[in-house]
Amino acid sequence: MSRSLVILVFAAGGLVFGGCGRPAVRQAGGQPAQVRVGFFANLTHAQAIMAVDSGELASALAPAKLVTRVFNAGPSEIEALLAGEIDIGYIGPGPAINGYVRTGGRGIRIIAGASANGVLIVARKDAGISSPADLRGKRLATPQFGNTQDISARRYLLAVLKQEGTGNIVPVPNAELRGMMLRKQIDAAWAPEPWGTLLVLDPEVQAVPLAREHELKELWPDGTMTLAVVITTPRFLESHPGAVAKFLEVHRNWTRRLSVERDKHLPRLGKALADLTGRALPDEVLRSALGNVRFTDDPLPRTLENMALWAWELGFLRSRPDLTGLVVRTGEAG
């Protein structure tokens, strides 16, 4: 795989606020010596995976060195971005909003969308769960406390199912879902792809698919939700607009390819995911999971507003959020 460095991170610590940490190391003339990009080993971040694996991102950013870092969930990636450990990241809207609000709008900018939908809610076959309505009181796994799926799951339990509290939600790294379900330590999972489909098609687990999150009209009346966006810091955007523009060109090219010719890229995407996770996924899993994801460079601001409101109501944010300035267009560095 053509990447300079990959670090698998399962950190779940608190967010770091109050600055943007260490800036990217510069060469003469403002060119960064390296560009550090974070993403997840999920299909929902497929543009990053393919851009790195193909070598296109490294070539586009040269002579800057591409350094990549793989995360399990959003809060730990936000921590890394604000600590100056990465420059650009693919992430869910929940942690992006959280970091933006808690830094007073000074720490984060969304520069593109990445994917929409792409979350599957599944249950252990013997857990007595046949629909999302049966999740009340069940041990429900989400990738990490405060990440995008975690916020949606808590919103659903409290606002839709009228459950008192969310103590039944268990943060579980995606790669550990299978083992915990086989050991009956969890009853269900609110999982980004391909992890949801993987549980359903696994012959030992045989999880029951309950719903695609975007089909829950109580959460998403329009049937569409932002799942992943691309973020950076105002400092990096202002200091290195050329590097950001090169990055976005590659990102948009892969967004288009994965939208119109995904079958063509399926084998390479499967191999790249296997390199990252240490586990090869059958073509059937990849094809089915990709069918649940819509790739788009539109960050879908209206769904960002919904997610921000939920995060506030759940107590992840101390005040009602104002997202003015969070999303910027290419060339805007404000």
Q: Note the pLDDT tens digit of each residue in 196-210.
A: 999 999 999 999 999
Q: Note the pLDDT tens digit of each residue in 147-183.
A: 889 999 999 999 999 999 999 999 999 889 999 999 9
Q: Note the pLDDT tens digit of each residue in 249-259.
A: 999 999 999 99
Strand, helix or coil for residue 219: coil
**Measured distance CA(217)–CA(129) in Å, rounded:** 19
- Mean pLDDT for the stretch of residues 19-43: 72
Domains of the chain: 8-117+225-313 (3.40.190.10), 119-215 (3.40.190.10)
Predicted local confidence at residue 159, as pLDDT: 96
Predicted local confidence at residue 7, as pLDDT: 30
Predicted local confidence at residue 83, as pLDDT: 96
Cβ partners under 8 Å of residue 68, min gap 6: 3, 4, 5, 6, 36, 37, 38, 39, 48, 52
Using alpha carbons only, what angle is made at residue 46 by residues 30 and 246, rounded to the nearest 5 degrees?
20
For residue 87, what are the β-bridge partners?
A: none
Percentages helix, strand, coil for the chain, rounded to the nearest 5?
Answer: 40, 20, 40
Q: Is pLDDT above 60 for 293?
A: yes
For residue 119, what are the β-bridge partners?
A: 192
Closest C-alpha among 176, 136, 227 to residue 12:
176
